[in-house]
Amino acid sequence: MARGFNHVLNSSPLQPGDTQLIVDDLYLAFGGVQALTAVSLEVRQSEITAIIGPNGAGKTSLLNCVSGLYHPQEGSIRFYNGREHLITSLKPYEIAKLGIARSFQNIELFKHMTVLDNIMLGRHIHLKANILSGGLFWGRAQKEEIENRRFLEDIIDLLEIESIRKQTVGTLSYGLQKRVELARALAVQPSLLVLDEPMAGMNNEEKEDMARFILDVNEEHGVSVIIIEHDMGVVMDISDHVVVLNFGMKIGDGTPDEVQQNPEVVQAYLGEEFAA
């Protein structure tokens, strides 16, 4: 494992290339506004799937359906981790327990807490000790705390944030806060990582670092990734699979090369400079 990672980050029994997530004929509307129309896609284990498209295309709405924040009116979402799970109507914490972790376009951290405490919140779904032992901090609760701290140290090392581990999140730069949010998502120990614009607002150096971390998580640890990203250079460099949305409908689906050759995608979003 990269950087001496001592724990299993991806516990999925699936093999690379196995079907991990199926979104089938999804419809989502808010009043008279149709956010998603007949959207279908497939995510495979250990691959990076990029969701791209203009602003308002339905990208974040799609991720919100996958993570349980929105429930579509029609269609289904199925997740595979050795068993098939229909997750269309599940709550976010139930989906997280299955192995799907999420970061957000707008940073959703507790600014008054330390980096370590924020990351530790990602471990809450793995806690099994009862209230009594947890309150007294003995027995099972103490063992859990020690093991969880060891797991977090691996993540901190992986994302190179050792020097800020005890700092208050609100004092950090935007780029470092994005890295902490990624760390908290990894603390869930996901087999599928869902990232909503993880590089938004970053300078080129910060983008390069974030892309490297995402590739490390994917290539070294086998974690599948769904990513929304507007930087087409990054998308084409790191993605195995690209899905293109426009006005809530899918207009492209394939490898980066195939998508760049799709006339409808070029016209709607990429522009001629990205056409292969």
**Residue 150 domain-assigned?**
no
Is the backbone of residue 144 left (phi > 0), alpha (psi -120 to 50) or beta?
A: alpha
Look-up of token digits 């250990």: 46
Quick check: 276 pLDDT over 80?
no
φ/ψ of residue 88, rounded to 5: -55, -40
Domain span at 31:
2-111+191-274
**Residue 101 domain-assigned?**
yes
- Where residue 43 sits, what CATH number does that domain have? 3.40.50.300
In this prediction the pTM is: 0.87
Per-residue confidence (pLDDT) for residue 273, from 0 to 100? 52
In the sheet that holds 224-228, the strands lie side by side as 100-102, 192-196, 224-228, 48-52, 241-246, 249-254
Domain count, the chain: 1
Mean pLDDT value of segment 87-93: 95
Residue 133 CB neighbour total at 10 angstroms: 16
How high does pLDDT run on average in the chain? 87
φ/ψ of residue 169, rounded to 5: -60, -40
CA dist., res. 16 & res. 106, Å (int):
31
pLDDT tens for 192-241 read: 999 999 998 888 999 999 999 999 999 999 999 999 998 888 999 999 99
pLDDT tens for 139-170 read: 566 677 777 778 888 899 999 999 998 999 99
pLDDT band at 266 (very low <50, low <70, confident <90, very high): confident
